[in-house]
Chain A
Amino acid sequence: MPRGNITPSLLLFATLVSALSVLAIFGFLLWFAAPVFTGETLSSLLSWQWRPQQGEFGILPMLAGSLCLAGSAMLLAYPLGLGLCCFMHGLGPTWAARPLLGIVRGMTSVPTVVYGLVSAFLLIPLIRAGFSGSGFSWLAAGLTLAMLILPTIVLILDSQFRTIHAQTQLTAAALGFTPAQQVLRLTLPLSTRGLLVAAALGFGRAIGDTLIPLMLAGNAPLLPHSPLDPLRTLTSHIALVVATDSQSAAYGSLFACGVILFMVSLLVNLALRRLRHE
């Protein structure tokens, strides 16, 4: 760290580099996807059939797969995360808050691939034995993904709760609130921003994860009709198809998937920004 003053122009430069990297990524994706988005291949791209050998490169099943999987993981993880945070800030015993937060913090250090490995050899056989099918399914990936995104949600909520809690401490005491009342009636309603940030980032993490669906979801390119069906996400599609010949439509479809994923995160961020400003 430099002694004395920090040069604002140097800081600005660093910020510009960081901010421009996102443009660079988008530019590259768009550049490589451009041949697919123009011309007749677009209609082949926006179909439900992925059969490269027959010249059909539909990526809609993967888009649907990504949304299904991320949505279901959020449905599981968000209430769980919210419950954990409320527990740590008033609904549970005070002594339990610190160790619990420690555990959740510790979860951030669990590698995705470890979740994938354990699920592949613990959860998959259980699902195979308990239900029908091969076990590689939406259900397996959804459950595992929920665990993966849980700490993201909890840690954001916790820091928000902490700030609000400190600000409302006196008010709550003056009103004679119990800790439970304080978290439910004051902290929670005042934490809208944190709630939304947690939701958006959790969803972003869920839809962007590659390894969990790649290892657990079975990767069949079709729309799942039940939680026991396999699915393929945009991310695992990219990982699977990056192999193909660099000029064919299959290759172009990779970058199209990339552009779609990018657009999804753009939309999430735009929505978030709007909500924040209201």
Chain B
Amino acid sequence: MSKPVPPEKLAQAGAWLAALGVPAILLALLGFLLWRGVPGLSLALFFADTPPLAALRGAPVFDGLWPACLGTLALVALATAIAVPLGVASGIYLAEYATGRAKALLAFAIDLLAGIPSILMGLFGFALILFLRRTVAPDANTGLLLSALCLAVLVLPYVIGTTRLALENLPLQLRLTGASLGLSPGRTVRHLLLPAALPGIFSGVMLAVGRAAEDTAVILMTGVVANAGAPASLTGKYEALPFHIYYLAAEHQSPAELTQAFAAALVLLALTGLMFLAARVLQTRLERQWTTEPTP
């Protein structure tokens, strides 16, 4: 057996290494996070010295995570509300209607958008405000809405890309079925292709939600602050979980504050993880629905 190791074996060894290594690293990360963060988990983490029930009714909370949690939720809801309709519509158009040079050009613009670093969205938002102030709206200011808008642009390509890919990857039979049933292209899209592509589209939305919740660079430049209380208006400054963690990681003035950072990281991870799981559950349910629908 003096033959060299066959490439299959080498590849197999590499694959095993990756398959064992990555989960191991993740486990170490998670373990460390739990070890440092769990001791900080308590009601006081969220509400500090404000009674929780009072806080839920709107009493101001200082030194707790509550305002940051609300800020992040508001941010994600707004950004998704802007990005999803726009993104799904664009994805459908690119996959089903656009042709020739126009399609190539539009698709290229979207690809380009996907490649733009998030900090540039933030810079854009910041510049936009400076521009607006000098021209038409002297009172324009950085705040929740601006951040949500920039985040929406950031996650838009995720929604567009997955929608388009999900539609384009559908089997040809489905399109032929539509045609053979005498459906117009529009109806084929609506009644056959879209339902089939829904799981794919939802995976895009899932990516978008996760990305919007965790991004720090955009909000860093468009209105997030360390202390602002719960978000009160669309134009106001706000707190957000990822920024809070970033801020405390660098700024913690005591071991207790650092523990708070780790606990906040656990909360954010739980939040993004929960959204992720919810999207997955939804996705599998829709998949099942689609596969059982044709046989009444």
Contacts and interface: CB of A to CB of B under 8 A. Distances in A.
Contact of A107 (B26, B85, B111, B112): B26
Report whether over half of chain A's contact residues are helix, strand or loop; otherwise say mixed: helix
Contacts of A104: 22
Contact of A15 (B7, B90, B217): B90
B261 A25 contact: no
A193 to B, nearest CB: 12
Nearest to A150: B22
A131 interface: no
Nearest to B221: A242
Interface in B58-102: 85-87, 89-90, 92-94, 97-98
A121 B16 CA distance: 29
Interface stretch (B115-123, B174-182, B231-239): B115-123
Contacts of A80: 18, 21-22
A210 B118 contact: yes
Nearest to A7: B186
Report whether over half of chain B's contact residues are helix, strand or loop; otherwise say mixed: helix
Interface in A67-118: 79-84, 86-88, 91-92, 96, 100, 103-118
Interface residues of B, number: 91
Interface stretch (A38-46, A55-63, A201-209, A220-228): A201-209
B123 A258 contact: yes
Most buried by B among A18, A24, A107, A207: A18
Interface residues of A, number: 88
Interface string B1-41: 00000011001101111110111011011001100100000
Interface in B237-259: 242-243, 245-246, 249-250, 258
Interface in B259-296: 261-262, 265, 268-269, 272-273, 275-276, 280
A265 B115 contact: yes
Interface of B: 7-8, 11-12, 14-19, 21-23, 25-26, 28-29, 32-33, 36, 85-87, 89-90, 92-94, 97-98, 105-106, 108-121, 123-124, 126-128, 130-131, 153, 156-157, 160, 165, 169, 184, 186-187, 189-190, 194, 207, 210, 213-217, 220-221, 242-243, 245-246, 249-250, 258, 261-262, 265, 268-269, 272-273, 275-276, 280
User: What 7 pairs across the A-B complex have the smallest Cβ distances?
Assistant: A208-B117, A83-B18, A111-B214, A265-B115, A14-B89, A19-B109, A11-B93
Interface of A: 1, 4-6, 8, 10-12, 14-25, 28-29, 31-32, 79-84, 86-88, 91-92, 96, 100, 103-118, 120-122, 147, 150, 159, 163, 180-181, 184, 200-201, 204, 207-211, 215, 235, 238-239, 242, 246, 254-255, 258, 261-262, 265-266, 268-269, 272-273
